[in-house]
Structure 1
């Protein structure tokens, strides 16, 4: 006697539902990679003279420890020290992560500096005028240890968004992913070792304004969004 197995209708419907869900998830995965820097190099993009400051060296900056994770996060990392021969040096760090993964992270100073033994002040926002007509909102903080007091301004760009906080950064990535995009990301940090906080932050803001002005207009969106 032959018995044909009965078809479990509920299992079949569940299987079809799971298959459809998997197909929808796959279809909604972000695939459009956005990379404003492309094949260009940060070394050529950023001027060696910014206002009265001239490129002096690449050493002396607080940087993330080298490890496979850091290598995966950053496609390009630029570190420079600029000097005007009078005031404390200006230190510039630009970390760029191209659109190669949907899990973008940017190494923010509030994580980097404590790993180097620094104590951080509360973070506040500061604005600088760039391009003569628009303002750039940056994070301002001080990192200190027994032998060094470093004043810091920094910002991040994720796709065409300018998130201020870590939460805003993650939200910017999620919004782009929902639109089918994998955004690139850039962190720009300028700092100086100076005990005079008000004077240091004013000079840092002036340095940022001069740097943005010194970059060709079409290339500025690599550092700041065009909205």
Structure 2
């Protein structure tokens, strides 16, 4: 056997061993098999979901959304202050692998004809000293201007870009597991000249305060859920 063939064979064995090392052997789901729709309140701090519950989203078997997400929560909330309503979308997938990944709004909105005119990273405050890395976007199509903020959770990670999402998915695989993922988006159709980011942030903070701890874990991870539980006990 030639030396070159031996070296090539050893390289193949090493590659196979590496692939086997990276093969996830367990699933990690912070939702714990519970339905997110039952954990996120329909009423809190002057806000109430229109119709008292979720918007019906037809699920087409075999579609991309059907493949990516085990559960989708869609609601429109109005406040007693009479201001602009806020739309909430939460998408949860049990398994975030190379083929099944959360789709980020800046990509999805452009795919249906919106132009992204603002895109920035700005942590959303859940309570004093407790923030979640989030993305703020403004999407325009015709006369419609929609301002939104969102974050994604992949296992215990909170990636803000597609690159970070790939990095965190690889880190999870190297630790031997496939993590679940969630995308939380709140948005508002702009009524004036300026975006009201403060209203969106206040909505998120109120929603998280009214959500039970198991729901907080599913939405923002264990560490922030614990911190928020401590903060709400103090208040």
- Alignment TM-score, normalising by the size of structure 1: 0.84
Provide the aligned length of Structure 1 versus Structure 2.
219
Distance 1:12 1:116, change over 3 A: closer
The equivalent of 1:69 in structure 2 is 64
The equivalent of 1:146 in structure 2 is 142
The equivalent of 1:206 in structure 2 is 202
C-alpha distance in structure 2 between counterparts of 1:208 and 1:123, whole Å: 19
Distance 1:191 1:216, change over 3 A: same
Decide whether the 8 Å contact of 2:156 with 2:222 is kept in 1: yes
Bigger mean CA deviation after superposition, 195-204 or 141-150: 195-204
Decide whether the 8 Å contact of 2:149 with 2:200 is kept in 1: yes
Distance 1:25 1:137, change over 3 A: closer
Q: Could you tell me how far 1:93 is from its partner in structure 2?
A: 0.3
What value does the CA root-mean-square deviation take over the aligned residues? Answer: 2.8
The equivalent of 2:31 in structure 1 is 37
Higher helix content, 1 or 2:
2
5+ residue gaps, structure 2, are: 224-235
Decide whether the 8 Å contact of 2:88 with 2:185 is kept in 1: yes
Q: Could you tell me how far 1:189 is from its partner in structure 2?
A: 0.2
Decide whether the 8 Å contact of 2:40 with 2:215 is kept in 1: no
* Mapped pair 1:181 → 2:170: no
Structure 2 residue matching 1:210: 3-state secondary structure? helix
The equivalent of 2:49 in structure 1 is 55
Deviation string 1:152-172 (CA, Å, 9 cap, x unpaired) is 010111111111111111111
Distance 1:197 1:48, change over 3 A: farther
* Mapped pair 1:136 → 2:132: yes
| Structure of higher CA gyration radius | 1
5+ residue gaps, structure 1, are: 1-7
C-alpha distance in structure 2 between counterparts of 1:66 and 1:204, whole Å: 33
C-alpha distance in structure 1 between counterparts of 2:22 and 2:166, whole Å: 18
**After TM superposition, which residue ranges in structure 1, 4 or more long, deviate above 4 angstroms?**
9-17, 57-61
- Alignment TM-score, normalising by the size of structure 2: 0.81
Structure 2 residue matching 1:190: 3-state secondary structure? strand
Bigger mean CA deviation after superposition, 130-139 or 47-56: 130-139
The equivalent of 2:157 in structure 1 is 161
